[in-house]
Amino acid sequence: MLTQNGIKLAVYIITNDFGKLVAQVCECLLRRGSLTRQGIARFAELPSEKVKKCLRILIQHNCVQAFALEQQGCGDLGKPPIVNTHYMALLGNIVQHIRFPKFLAIAKGELSQQVGPTNGQQCALLLEGLLQHGRLTLTQILDRATQEDENNADPKAVRERFFLLVKNRFVEHCPSPEPHMPLRSEDEQPTKKRGSKSSQMLLLEVAMSVAGAMLRETQKQPMRYVLLLLDIKHPAQATVKEVTLEEQALADAMPMEAERFSIDAVSTADTENETNRNGVLAIRSGEKRKLMEVESELDVVFPEKEPIWRVNFDEFNRLLRNKACIDTVRTRLDDNAAKVLSAMLKASGSSASAVSVTLDAIFEELLKSNQTMTMTLDHVRTILDDIGCDSDRVDKYNLDLSDIIKQAKIEEIESIVLKRYGREAYRIFRLLRSNSLYLDTDKISDRVFIDKKETMKILYKLWKDNFLHMEKVSRGGIKDKDALLWKVNDSNLYYEILDELYHVVLNIQIRSNYEKDQRREVCYFPEMLLLQISKEALTGENKTNLDRLRKKMMLLVNCILKLDDALLLFQD
Amino acid sequence: MGRPRLPAAGDLKRKRGGEPVADPTETIYDLIESRGDKGIWKGDVKKELSSIKPTYVDNYIKKLLSDGRIKEFVPKEGPKGKPLLVAMHIEPAEELTGGIWYDGGKLDEEFIGAINRNCLECIKGCVVVSAADVLGFIKKRDLYKVKISLEQIKDVLGSLVLDNAIVECRSTGFGEFARIPVGTVCYKLRRDLGQRGGRGGAMALIPCGACPRINQCTPDGAISPVTCVYFEKWLALEF
């Protein structure tokens, strides 16, 4: 979700990492949406060459995605459509930069369990290279490993470690550099599916015909047209979900699942004489034309035979989300419930938010992780019910993680209300949150045991800050005042809190950089240089100052990591 | 100059004969009684009985109060401290008095606090309790003169749930719920009672989470993370 403070945070991160010029281009894309290179040059008031270089850096670090958009030419309708390369900034990917230390810690932890601590550490170093450089080929990764540590630079070992990262889905193929977005003609109709028509198929046909009709309408606005997709969970509750041009471009750029983590292309690309073999070329033949187009646009040279790899943010975010769910359950219930949920998520291994596992699989996973477990099957069943699982079959349990995530979000919002407005406001907010209907002031005052005038003041404060929604209802009588009805402002609240979280993370980043600059002044003050004293040899007040600064930095970094946990939930 | 003498019933007889005028005290009492448990403001009495002088009305009402035929009560809503009048044998409506939770028109926070503490004590002792268990516990202690009903105890337990001090659940009939019938609403203490009121979110850890000036805070503005006094105090306090 794009928010004002989200844009400011992204610009700050890019400024810190790549400089003001690149940040200027990034800000232009974030504020104005997808633009061509000429458009960026115009709005950012920069020469085209500089914009090109900045875009190369941003694409290299997965902060920008290009796509080729086909547009109807001006003037004579008989002319062929024009294809322009547009660029869009990816706010989500830019903000991921805050999470890089967590990604490394997760990879090290997971891989150490599989291959031992030493190899786990080495794998994490390979991942660090990808995080630092954005995108690399395997050759570049091998070269880097050799330069960093000659002792552990056996190419075969490095390759094995890299394959382990791919197997665990921590790295993936880069998306297509420039997916093609064709212009749809008015006559084009969606194809119908053959075979017996289930209710889902019928709904799909209806929706596709509606989509076709809407597309004909939206041809009038060629720059931004929408596609309608069916989001069917239950046939009776099918909802039509709008997909923007940018989202469609991102979806098209993503390689297919089989290709995304394919290491066959890597191993065959390294062998000699592979250029003569069709179908084993690492890059698909269709992609070569697109690569050449991007080459001409940005003068980038793509390595021909090797796929390019990048860190798979989705997998790390999934693991972090699972961890957040486990922590929420641990707080709400107990450690045993956390262990059961952890086992359920490991047994499932699915990336979807809905998980479905048998009791046997959960129990097996529990035994694997804890040899001295004393929980019985009945106990595990009770815990699964407490967590909120439902079972449509004997011993098969389904859980929607989005419910747990929603619970965690609500707890975060409630803690903000408690800290900012006090205990009484907290009670009022929880009362309104537990009721989906409107409540009037008198009823609220009675339920929470707060004086009515005080209740009114608190409700007004919460309403002013967009936590609540208020409706005025006339009571009918001339003498009677209008009744005020209150409800939690669900529609906007998550957006507001996300924006605030971005704001707070930005504040902490700015403050921690400020403290770092202060520390630099202490570390390099002139007496030290004159007397050639090292940091460790500092005494007295200087040592105290340095220690204090170091502790401040640690506190601020810890705060960022905790805020990022909350940010992950609200970005979901 | 002394208080004007209240006209007696006979003084108000019409000189030329006819029916005797009703005793104004009785008229006022009848009016107050007719309003039942809703009561009536003094001002409304004066309006209704405009034939009697307002100063006389005040004096008649004082007489009725001193005779113990009517009483005053301060409603929980309405002008500050201004009482309503009601007949002595009638209990004022709970929706006006606020019930046992209000004393003299104000929320009796001390009493509510005491009931809260009793409820928590009962739950601590028994691990899992129903509302009936808590009521029994309080009645056994016999600490309060007022009669507390089951509904009122449920209201108090409800506010403790909103405070996040206790958790509401339903009895399954097994384990710790064995003595409570299946499906009965029960209450137990939160596991992390040390973090009462929520486990403390990320925003609550830093000054920005509670800052009243967050909307005016910008990276380069007068209020910024570098110049913020709350940040300075927070970092100074920590070390």
Give tens-digit pLDDT for A391-445: 876 778 888 888 899 989 998 999 999 999 999 999 999 999 998 889 999 899 9
Does the beta carbon of A501 lie under 8 angstroms from any beta carbon of chain B?
Answer: yes
Contact B162 A430 (CB under 8 A): yes
Does the beta carbon of A379 lie under 8 angstroms from any beta carbon of chain B?
Answer: no
The whole-chain average pLDDT of chain A stands at: 79
| Residue range A311-322: mean pLDDT, rounded | 92
Calculate the CA dihedral of residues A326, A331, A333, A339 and round it to 10 degrees.
30
Q: Please name the member of B192, B206, B210 whose beta carbon is closest to the beta carbon of A559.
A: B206
Contact A504 B200 (CB under 8 A): no
Check whether A246 has a pLDDT greater than 60: yes
* pLDDT confidence of residue A197: 41
If you measure CA to CA, which chain B residue comes closest to A328? Answer: B199
Q: Distance between CA atoms of A379 and A392, rounded to whole angstroms?
A: 19
Q: How far is B158 from chain A (nearest CA, A)?
A: 8
DSSP-assigned beta bridge partners for residue B85: B40, B72
Q: Tell me which H or E stretch contains A136.
A: strand A135-136
Q: Please name the member of A449, A507, A565 whose beta carbon is closest to the beta carbon of B107.
A: A449
Q: State the pLDDT confidence band at B142, using cuts at 50, 70 and 90.
A: confident
Residues 112-131 of B with CB under 8 A from A: 112
Check whether B158 has a pLDDT greater than 90: yes
Residue A60 or residue A387, greater confidence: A60
| Residue range B130-150: mean pLDDT, rounded | 88
Percent of chain B scored above 70 by pLDDT? Answer: 86
* pLDDT confidence of residue A223: 38
Q: How far is A125 from chain B (nearest CA, A)?
A: 30
Contact B219 A566 (CB under 8 A): no
Mutate to test the interface with A, among B203, B215, B228, B239 (most CBs of A within 10 A): B203
Chain B residues touching residue A555 (CB < 8 angstroms): 235, 238
Check whether B89 has a pLDDT greater than 80: yes
CA distances from B122 to A57, B68, B160 (A): 65, 41, 13
Contact B199 A411 (CB under 8 A): yes
Q: Are A218 and A226 in contact (CB under 8 A)?
A: yes
Each residue of A178-193: b (16+ CB within 10 Å) or e?
A: bbbbeeeeeeeeeeee
User: For residue A302, what are its two tokens?
Assistant: 């793509």
Q: How far is A510 from chain B (nearest CA, A)?
A: 7
Does the beta carbon of B191 lie under 8 angstroms from any beta carbon of chain A?
Answer: yes
| Residue range A168-182: mean pLDDT, rounded | 88
Residues 43-82 of B with CB under 8 A from A: 76-77
Check whether A369 has a pLDDT greater than 80: no
3-state helix, strand, coil in chain A (%, to 5): 65, 10, 25
Q: State the pLDDT confidence band at A567, using cuts at 50, 70 and 90.
A: very high
The whole-chain average pLDDT of chain B stands at: 83
Mutate to test the interface with B, among A409, A411, A449 (most CBs of B within 10 A): A449
Residue with tokens 């859980």, as numbered in its chain: A399
| Residue range A457-483: mean pLDDT, rounded | 84
Q: How far is B88 from chain A (nearest CA, A)?
A: 27
Does the beta carbon of B225 lie under 8 angstroms from any beta carbon of chain A?
Answer: yes
* pLDDT confidence of residue A473: 87
Q: Please name the member of A333, A416, A551 whose beta carbon is closest to the beta carbon of B204.
A: A416
Contact B235 A501 (CB under 8 A): no
* pLDDT confidence of residue B68: 92
Other residues' Cβ atoms within 10 Å of the Cβ of residue B149: 12
Phi-psi region of A362 (alpha: psi -120 to 50; beta: other; left: phi over 0): alpha
| Residue range A182-198: mean pLDDT, rounded | 48
Q: State the pLDDT confidence band at A235, using cuts at 50, 70 and 90.
A: very low
Q: Distance between CA atoms of A9 and A504, rounded to whole angstroms?
A: 9
3-state secondary structure of A88: strand
If you measure CA to CA, which chain B residue comes closest to A428? Answer: B162
Contact A420 B209 (CB under 8 A): yes
| Residue range A181-204: mean pLDDT, rounded | 49
Chain A residues touching residue B197 (CB < 8 angstroms): 418, 423, 426
Q: How far is B187 from chain A (nearest CA, A)?
A: 14
Contact A449 B204 (CB under 8 A): no
State pLDDT tens for residues A502-543.
999 999 999 988 888 877 665 555 555 445 555 555 567 777
| Residue range A144-148: mean pLDDT, rounded | 81
| Residue range B221-235: mean pLDDT, rounded | 88
Q: State the pLDDT confidence band at B82, using cuts at 50, 70 and 90.
A: confident
Residue with tokens 């400020």, as numbered in its chain: A514
Residue A254 or residue A287, greater confidence: A254
| Residue range A241-250: mean pLDDT, rounded | 80
Contact A426 B76 (CB under 8 A): no
**CA atoms within 13 A of residue B95's CA, in its CB half-sphere:** 5
Query: Among A9-13, A211-215, A404-408, B50-54, which stretch is predicted with the lowest mean pLDDT?
Result: A211-215
Calculate the CA dihedral of residues B8, B10, B11, B12 and round it to 10 degrees.
100
3-state secondary structure string across A155-174: HHHHHHHHHHHHHCCCEEEC
Does the beta carbon of B177 lie under 8 angstroms from any beta carbon of chain A?
Answer: no
Helices A452-464 and A401-421: angle between axes, nearest 10 degrees: 120
Other residues' Cβ atoms within 10 Å of the Cβ of residue B129: 23
Contact B206 A447 (CB under 8 A): no
Contact A500 B112 (CB under 8 A): no
Chain A residues touching residue B156 (CB < 8 angstroms): 449
Residues 431-490 of A with CB under 8 A from B: 431, 434, 446-452
Residues 314-333 of A with CB under 8 A from B: 331, 333
Residue A152 or residue B70, greater confidence: B70
Does the beta carbon of B192 lie under 8 angstroms from any beta carbon of chain A?
Answer: yes
Q: Are B83 and B73 in contact (CB under 8 A)?
A: yes
> What DSSP string describes chain B?
--PPPPPPTGGGS-TT-SSPPPPHHHHHHHHHHHTGGG-B-HHHHHHHTTTS-HHHHHHHHHHHHHHTSEEEE--SSSSTTPPEEEETTSPPPHHHH-GGGEETTEE-HHHHHHHHHHHHHHHHHHSEEEHHHHHHHHHHHT--SS---HHHHHHHHHHHHHTTSEEEEE--SSGGGTTS-TT-EEEEE-TTGGG-SSS--SGGGSGGGG-TTGGG--TTSSS-TTT-HHHHHHHHHH-
Q: How far is B176 from chain A (nearest CA, A)?
A: 13
Other residues' Cβ atoms within 10 Å of the Cβ of residue B34: 10
Chain B residues touching residue A447 (CB < 8 angstroms): 155, 158-159, 162
Contact A500 B219 (CB under 8 A): no
Q: How far is B101 from chain A (nearest CA, A)?
A: 8
Residue A247, exposed/middle/buried by CB under 10 A (0-12, 13-18, 19+)? middle
Check whether A337 has a pLDDT greater than 70: yes
Q: How far is A302 from chain B (nearest CA, A)?
A: 39
Residue A350 or residue A371, greater confidence: A350
Does the beta carbon of A420 lie under 8 angstroms from any beta carbon of chain B?
Answer: yes
Residue with tokens 């212009």, as numbered in its chain: A183
Query: Among A72-81, A253-262, B25-34, which stretch is predicted with the lowest mean pLDDT?
Result: A72-81
Chain A residues touching residue B225 (CB < 8 angstroms): 506-508, 510-511, 514
Residue B151, exposed/middle/buried by CB under 10 A (0-12, 13-18, 19+)? exposed
* pLDDT confidence of residue A478: 58
3-state secondary structure string across A237-306: HCEEEEECHHHHHHHHHCCCHHHHCCCHHHHHHCCCCHHHCCCCCCCCHHHHHHHHHHHHHHCCCCCCCC
**CA atoms within 13 A of residue A398's CA, in its CB half-sphere:** 8
Chain A residues touching residue B155 (CB < 8 angstroms): 446-447, 449
Q: How far is B222 from chain A (nearest CA, A)?
A: 14
A vs B: CB pairs below 8 A: 122
Residues 206-265 of A with CB under 8 A from B: none
Contact B202 A566 (CB under 8 A): yes
Q: State the pLDDT confidence band at A479, using cuts at 50, 70 and 90.
A: low
